[in-house]
Amino acid sequence: MNDHIIALDQGTTSSRAIVFNSKGTPVTIAQYPFPQIYPKPGWVEHDPKVILDTQLRSLAAAFEKSGLSPTDIAGIGITNQRETTIVWDKNTGEPVYNAIVWQCRRTASICDELIAEGLGDYVTEKTGLLIDAYFSGTKIKWILDNVPGVRERAERGELLFGTVDCWIIWNLTGGAAHVSDYSNCSRTMIFDIDKLQWDEKLCERLGIPMSMLPTPVPSSMVYGHIAKGLPGLEMLEGTPVCGSAGDQPAALFGQGCIHPGQAKNTYGTGCFTLMNTGSKSVRSTSGLVTSVAWSVNGELTYALEGSVFNAGSSIQWLRDELKIIDSASEVEALATSVPDNGGVYLVSAFTGLGAPRWDMYARGAIVGLTRGSTRAHIGRAALEGIAYQVKDLLDAMDNDVDSGLSVLRVDGGASVNNFLMQFQSDVLQKPIDRPVMVETTAFGAAFLAGLAVGVWKDVSEIVTLRVSDKVFTPQMSAEEAAVLHGTWLRAAERACKWEVKDIQE
């Protein structure tokens, strides 16, 4: 039976592969973490070859553990950390520099120059984004300007650019397909999201040769097939590579948010709140961005999005740097060991603040400390800080579209934390719906791939496959929630504009 899909879920801290059956149930999973590289404060990099190696090994391991035959696999879907930027030699496949990760702040001064030139309105009009170091365009420019000989090679047509989806597809297909789906293209800050093509003016301003850029493609179609000679993947040779979407739109899709006004939040390394706006590419007036969510069977769906740069990573920070917990799962018990936060607020602006503030120079802060503050208060404040930032995003969405959101669907690693989900419901004063199967990002990619090869017939089938695990409803009064959030806003203000020097120095 040709009715299984393997989803490759290439994230910020690990590469995973999940085999799904036609009921949308995970059959097997394999996962390999990889190291983060921090060359300077505010800089974040990955080794592209390690990304690829861990992703291919997870694919091979998940398939082997499944006990399935190659004929059982209908296709491969891909979802990925977005904005992370890779430039490589199109003949040898060798990267010219490490991948510059979406969290990296090194191009903040380039963004400042673009803003000073008055390009902000043009960027928003064409790309749906705001000018920020988060996005790929200025990262490409930095590589071209700072790695010796690279600009000359790019201008000779020897180099290719891609976000992580593009890098993986290019390698899986043996270099046959240099493509990127619309959802990933729309996070580069050089892509016209209405015309679905690269913007020549922005590429020229950033000095990016357009010969480097991948072909923009829909999210559900056959891009190519697994090539010969990939280590451990000999049995899967010829399998279609047929679905792709960035991690957050894939999660929106996997959550069954297929109608305008439906929204989800993913609690991962960062938090990402997306709302389906249908065929309309809404331009935000509240600090959000607009991206292509997916394109299936010729129909384009857009989303409003807000991003929290550090969510789960703030819990990792408690574990790895502060060492007040031994594992991330311990933070819930720590937080509930005290009745409240003791007046402590943690603003996890380790790499700046995303929407709706878009402050590249904000830095992390803990405020409200007293002599009686404990590690439990700090742990609780870290979780509460995640929920407050998500509320800020949804408040901005209400300003933009007056959606009247009735329920927020949630997923991602931290969504299993019952304290966080209950507190999120309390501060939002809305129900929180957590599904049984929280692997919604990978499932979204799998479903897009399955649509391309006939495992599923149409988009509406995805709704029937989603089952709720638990719905959290508000247990706190609206008045108390408003007071707590008001204090949070004061704390967040303290963290803004903290870093004043050029972080490229």
Confidence at residue 431, expressed as pLDDT on a 0 to 100 scale: 95
Rounded to 10 degrees, the C-alpha dihedral 110/115/118/123 comes to 90
**Averaged pLDDT score across all residues of the chain:** 93
Between helices 48-66 and 164-172, what is the axis angle to 10°? 60
How many C-beta neighbours within 10 Å does residue 406 have? 11
In 402-468, where does DSSP find H-type helix? Answer: 418-428, 440-453, 461-465
For residues 263 and 414, give the distance between their C-alpha atoms in angstroms, rounded to a whole number.
Answer: 17
333 contact partners, CB below 8 Å, separation of at least 6: none
* Contact (CB, 8 A) for 275 and 303: yes
Rounded to 10 degrees, the C-alpha dihedral 384/388/390/393 comes to -170
For each of the chain's 505 residues, which pLDDT tens digit applies? Answer: 689 999 999 999 899 999 999 998 999 999 999 999 999 988 999 999 999 999 999 999 999 999 999 999 999 999 999 999 999 999 999 999 999 999 898 999 999 999 999 999 999 999 999 999 989 999 999 999 999 999 999 999 999 999 999 999 999 999 999 999 999 999 999 999 999 999 999 999 999 999 999 999 999 999 999 999 898 899 999 999 999 999 999 999 999 999 888 899 999 888 989 999 999 888 888 889 999 999 999 999 999 999 898 998 999 999 999 999 999 899 999 999 999 999 999 999 998 898 889 888 899 999 999 999 999 999 999 999 999 999 999 999 988 887 678 889 999 888 999 999 999 999 999 999 999 887 889 999 999 999 999 999 888 888 888 889 999 999 999 999 999 999 999 999 999 999 865 544 4
User: How many residues does the structure list for the chain?
Assistant: 505
Q: Which of 131, 159, 163 is nearest to 147 (CA)?
A: 159
For residues 302 and 361, give the distance between their C-alpha atoms in angstroms, rounded to a whole number.
Answer: 29
**Class of residue 227 by CB neighbours under 10 A (exposed 0-12, middle 13-18, buried 19+):** middle
β-sheet bridge partners, residue 299: 296
Q: Residue 144: helix, strand or coil by DSSP?
A: helix
Residue type, 24: G
Confidence at residue 354, expressed as pLDDT on a 0 to 100 scale: 85
Question: Which pTM value belongs to this model?
Answer: 0.86
Chain CA centroid to CA 296, Å: 20
Instruction: Give, in order, the Cα–Cα distances in Å from 479 to each of 11, 422, 428, 475, 486.
Output: 38, 17, 12, 12, 11
DSSP 294-327: EEETTEEEEEEEEEES-SHHHHHHHHHTS-S-SS
* Contact (CB, 8 A) for 160 and 90: yes
**Could you read off the pLDDT of 307-316 as tens digits, one per residue?**
898 998 999 9
The 3 state secondary structure assigned to 186-244 is CCCCCEECCCCEECHHHHHHHCCCHHHCCEEECCEEEEEECCCCCCCCHHHCCCEEEEE
Confidence at residue 501, expressed as pLDDT on a 0 to 100 scale: 55
